[in-house]
Structures are given as C-alpha cells and as structure tokens.
C-alpha cells in the first residue's frame, strides 16, 4: 500500500489515506499525553508496542464475532485498516473502581464493581472528553439510540473476551476505553486500539500497574511496563 494524504492526527496516531479505496493506513506514535494534553512526553518504543498489541488482539476479537476496522499489520508502526467515520462517543468499561471514577465518586481505588459499568464521553480534545449520558449523545446527533445499543453490546462483548484472556496471562483488566466507527455501509465496528494507553492493567499477584498510569503518576518504569504487556499479550497459555 502507498501512504496518501494525512487525514487525521491525534495524540497517539496519524491516519493516512491510501491507494486502496475504502482503506486507511494508521501510524502509531511514541507521543504520550495525560490530563487532556497538559502533561506531554515521549515513551520510546510505545508506538511499536501499541501497534503490535492491537494487531495481535483485533484478529482474536474478530474470531470471537466482534467486527473491527483492522485488516493487517504493515510494519513496526503501521496498520492497514478499513476506512470508518468515528462515532464521537467514547466508551469506558469499568470492572474495578480506579482513576477518575474513584475520584469522582469517592470510592477507594481497587474496589471491585458488582457488574461492569459502561460510561460515555464526548470525543473532544478541546473540551477534555467530557462525561455524557446516552440522552445527550442522541439529542445532539452524535449517535442514534440504535447506534448506542449496538456500541454497548459490542463493548461488553469485548470485555467478556478480554477479561479471561488477560486473567490467563496474570493480568487484571481494571477498565478500558474503546472507540467505534461506521463503515460506508453503516455497520458499526471497533476502531482505534487496545493497549496500555487505553486500558488499566494490573499484575494479578502484585497489583503493579502495567499501563499509562505509570506515566500519569510519575511511577517510573513506563517503557518496561509497556514491554511487559506486549510479552503478556502474546504469551501462549
């Protein structure tokens, strides 16, 4: 494939047109941000690791019946994906209280939740991805009721696959963020990535954080944590 014009650049990726109709090229960057872009740095090798983790997991999710935009890994930092229009509603699935959820509700971090909690945010860097509810998304035309029903269904299906997958590799999936997009046909598919950038991963035995919280909270060992997660994700059990 030949890389065409830059279509979009976010905090962690660039999306390019390609010479194949209906397909894009996604490039993963080493750039890291936290607190809505207030804290910035580079995590060496992050782009390659997140690309590799996503490229490993998305075909497995496809095999579990979850449609995705992923087509193939092109190189260390690049993927071939189906072109989608991103639904501007990010989905957070929480299994354990942590991060902003704990702070917002005064619940001790690490408290298990009796059922998964699905939250929605408006995808807007300028506004800091504010928390919204489904009525807001529908009223403002960001998604239809049918869209949100399908997105919630797919998000919980992703959870049902990933939780035991990571448990088998000694990792607790605390929470994770997903983005979805629409194909030209209107079908909703999983887009973006699944990586230590978008998930909270805790070692099942020690509780050690193996994700971007190491960067957010100045815990050190960020590169090692990302590399460890790649090793865990690709481990055969």
CATH code of the domain containing 70: 3.30.200.20
Q: Do 75 and 104 reside in the same domain of the chain? A: no
Sequence-separated (6 or more) residues with CB below 8 Å from residue 107:
97, 101
Within a 10 A sphere around the Cβ of 13, how many other Cβ atoms?
Answer: 20
Q: Do 126 and 193 reside in the same domain of the chain? A: yes
Structural domain harbouring 36:
3-82
The pLDDT confidence band at residue 1, using thresholds 50, 70 and 90, is confident
Q: How many domains does the chain have?
A: 2
Q: Do 39 and 108 reside in the same domain of the chain? A: no
In a domain, 235, yes or no: no
SS3 50: helix
Adjacent-strand bridge partners of 92: 119, 177
Q: Do 99 and 64 reside in the same domain of the chain? A: no
pLDDT tens digits, 4-58: 999 999 889 999 999 999 999 999 999 888 766 567 888 999 999 999 999 999 9
Q: Do 72 and 150 reside in the same domain of the chain? A: no
The pLDDT confidence band at residue 198, using thresholds 50, 70 and 90, is very high
Q: Do 210 and 112 reside in the same domain of the chain? A: yes
CATH code of the domain containing 163: 3.30.470.20
What is each CA distance from 208 to 147, 163, 193, 203, 204, in whole angstroms? 36, 17, 22, 5, 8
pTM of the model: 0.94
In a domain, 217, yes or no: yes
Query: Of 53, 82, 111, which residue is a domain's last?
Result: 82
Give the lowest-confidence range in 29-38, 182-191, 209-218: 29-38
Q: Do 131 and 195 reside in the same domain of the chain? A: yes
Residue located via tokens 């088998």: 168
**Residue 197 · residue 51 · CB < 8 Å:** no
Sequence-separated (6 or more) residues with CB below 8 Å from residue 95:
112, 113, 116, 159, 163, 172, 173, 174, 175
Q: Do 216 and 100 reside in the same domain of the chain? A: yes
CA separation for the pair 180, 98 (Å, rounded): 23
């Amino acid at each position: 494939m030949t890389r065409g014009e830059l279509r979009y650049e976010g905090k962690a990726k660039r999306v390019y047109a390609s010479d194949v109709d209906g397909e894009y090229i996604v490039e993963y960057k080493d750039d890291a941000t936290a607190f809505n872009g207030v804290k910035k740095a580079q995590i060496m090798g992050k782009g390659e690791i997140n690309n590799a983790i996503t490229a490993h997991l998305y075909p497995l999710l496809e095999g579990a019946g979850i449609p995705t935009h992923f087509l193939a890994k092109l190189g260390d930092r690049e993927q071939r994906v189906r072109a989608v229009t991103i639904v501007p509603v990010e989905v957070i699935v929480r299994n354990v209280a942590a991060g902003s959820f704990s702070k917002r509700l005064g619940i001790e971090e690490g408290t298990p939740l009796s059922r998964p909690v699905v939250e929605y945010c408006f995808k807007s860097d300028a506004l800091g991805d504010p928390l919204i509810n489904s009525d807001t998304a529908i009223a403002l035309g960001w998604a239809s009721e049918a869209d949100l029903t399908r997105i919630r269904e797919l998000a919980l299906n992703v959870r049902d696959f990933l939780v035991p997958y990571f448990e088998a590799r000694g990792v607790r999936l605390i929470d994770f963020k997903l983005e979805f997009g629409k194909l030209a046909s209107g079908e909703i598919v999983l887009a973006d990535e699944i990586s230590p950038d978008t998930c909270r991963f805790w070692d099942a035995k020690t509780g050690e954080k193996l994700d971007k919280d190491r960067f957010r909270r100045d815990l050190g060992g960020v590169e090692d944590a990302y590399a460890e997660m790649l090793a865990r994700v690709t481990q055969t059990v």
